[in-house]
């Protein structure tokens, strides 16, 4: 009897594993829509709870209002910014292709503005072939802008797929928000772990997602806005585009936005615009950098309890593997990894005692 029972149990686990893997393959094309519906549902769950109380347990009405708030607060602004950025990218690509913006020429200006000692050092290592470097920089800039423009065009051509994914995300968001409590109860019951371990890991899962998304997006918006305004003040063309690039790069702790404003400040100083260059460098260091140093530990590190270096490498790894979705999944996996090993350490310490 025990042998038959074990055989049936193993067969059931094998079937469970097979159908789970099959479901993952089926849902893979909608991975981003499902992921962001879960993320938004977790973020807006406190709003849903308050509305349920306010509307006397009318969960459908509360979920509908929560969905509308999500659309107005998050989705519509994101669509507007995306559409504006596509226009900026198309304009920048047209300028580079027509030759009105010559990246190589700007590089040549910087090199000629360097002190003679620095130029001699570059010449010693055969780095003063300005015509070759200028040509390579111009070609690289054109190729990069062409690739970005192609991606933007592909996004426009895949309108039907985008609309379907967008609709699935909103549809799932409604039900995830409405049925969050029974769904979380089912998940807790299905996980084959001790109650304390389940509670700890589910709490860590929710906390990391909320902190990563809300914290990183808050830092990105503030740094991108401040950086864009700073570049616009010193007369840089396409300040909105570069502000958005800084917002995206600010997802990387410590280095982020400086990858944009620092080279611009160096270029301004090298080409003789000392006041603008020094002002931009001071603003970037004292204001934009301070935003990262102050807000990120408060909004992200405090809740996730992850060191900055762990956040950095897990974010980079996640983005390189999964694209924009990786900035959430990377730190989430790192946090769950640390939590699981911490639980194991506590158990072993308890057993040893």
Query: What is the band of 64 on the pLDDT scale with cuts at 50, 70, 90?
Result: very high
Over residues 241-267, the pLDDT tens digits come to: 788 888 877 777 666 788 888 888 887
**Rounded CA separation 158/140 (Å):** 27
Centre a 10 Å sphere on the Cβ of residue 255 and count the other Cβ atoms it contains.
13
pTM confidence score = 0.70
The mean pLDDT of 7-30, rounded to a whole number, is 85
Hey, CA dihedral for 78, 81, 87, 92, is it positive or negative? negative
Alpha-carbon dihedral 217, 223, 226, 232, rounded to 10 degrees: -100
Instruction: Check the CA dihedral 135-141-142-143 and report its sign.
Output: positive
Q: Which of 277, 299, 185 is nearest to 230 (CA)?
A: 277
Q: What is the pLDDT of residue 352?
A: 45
The whole-angstrom separation of Cα 323 and Cα 289 is: 25
Q: Under a CB-based contact definition with an 8 Å cutoff, are residues 288 and 223 in contact?
A: yes
Least Cα distance to 170 among 4, 12, 353, 30 occurs for 30
User: Of 207 and 61, which is predicted with more confidence?
Assistant: 61
pLDDT recorded at residue 124: 59
Tens digits of residue pLDDT in 277-327:
888 888 888 888 887 777 766 666 565 667 777 777 888 888 888 877 887
Per-residue pLDDT at 3? 61
Cα separation, 182 vs 179, whole angstroms: 6
pLDDT band at 353 (very low <50, low <70, confident <90, very high): very low
pLDDT of residue 350 exceeding 70:
no
pLDDT of residue 126: 55
pLDDT 10s digits, 182-205: 888 887 777 777 777 777 788 788
Cβ proximity of 330 and 317 under 8 Å: yes
pLDDT of residue 335: 83
The percentage of residues in the chain with a pLDDT greater than 90, rounded to a whole number, is 5
pLDDT at 174: 92
- pLDDT of residue 131 exceeding 60: no
35 touches 328 (CB < 8 A): yes
């Amino acid at each position: 009897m025990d042998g038959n029972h074990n055989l049936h149990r193993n067969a059931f686990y094998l079937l469970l594993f097979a159908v789970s893997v099959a479901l993952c393959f089926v849902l893979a094309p909608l991975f981003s829509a499902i992921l962001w519906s879960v993320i938004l549902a977790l973020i807006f769950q406190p709003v849903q709870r308050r509305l349920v109380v306010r509307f006397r347990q009318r969960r459908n009405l509360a979920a509908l209002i929560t969905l509308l708030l999500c659309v107005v607060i998050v989705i519509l602004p994101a669509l507007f910014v995306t559409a504006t950025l596509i226009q900026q990218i198309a304009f920048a690509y047209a300028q580079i292709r027509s030759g009105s913006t010559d990246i190589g020429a700007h590089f040549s200006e910087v090199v000629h503005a360097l002190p003679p000692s620095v130029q001699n050092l570059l010449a010693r290592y055969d780095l003063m072939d300005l015509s070759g470097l200028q040509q390579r920089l111009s070609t690289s800039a054109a190729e990069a802008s062409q690739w970005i423009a192609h991606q933007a065009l592909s996004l426009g051509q895949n309108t039907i797929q985008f609309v379907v994914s967008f609709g699935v995300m909103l549809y799932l968001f409604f039900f995830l928000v409405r049925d969050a409590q029974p769904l979380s109860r089912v998940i807790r019951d299905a996980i084959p772990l001790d109650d304390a371990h389940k509670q700890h890991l589910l709490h860590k899962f929710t906390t990391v997602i909320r902190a990563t998304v809300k914290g990183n997006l808050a830092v990105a918006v503030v740094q991108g806005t401040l950086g864009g305004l700073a570049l616009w003040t010193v007369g840089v063309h396409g300040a909105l585009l570069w502000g958005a690039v800084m917002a995206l790069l600010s997802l990387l702790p410590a280095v982020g936005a400086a990858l944009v404003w620092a080279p611009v400040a160096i270029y301004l100083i090298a080409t003789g615009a000392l006041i603008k260059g020094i002002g931009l460098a001071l603003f970037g260091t004292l204001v934009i950098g301070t935003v990262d140093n102050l807000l990120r530990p408060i909004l992200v590190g405090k809740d996730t309890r992850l060191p900055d270096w762990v956040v950095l490498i897990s974010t980079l790894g996640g983005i390189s593997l999964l694209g924009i979705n990786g900035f959430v999944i990377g730190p989430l996996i790192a946090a769950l990894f640390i939590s699981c090993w911490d639980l194991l350490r506590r158990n072993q310490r308890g057993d040893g005692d």
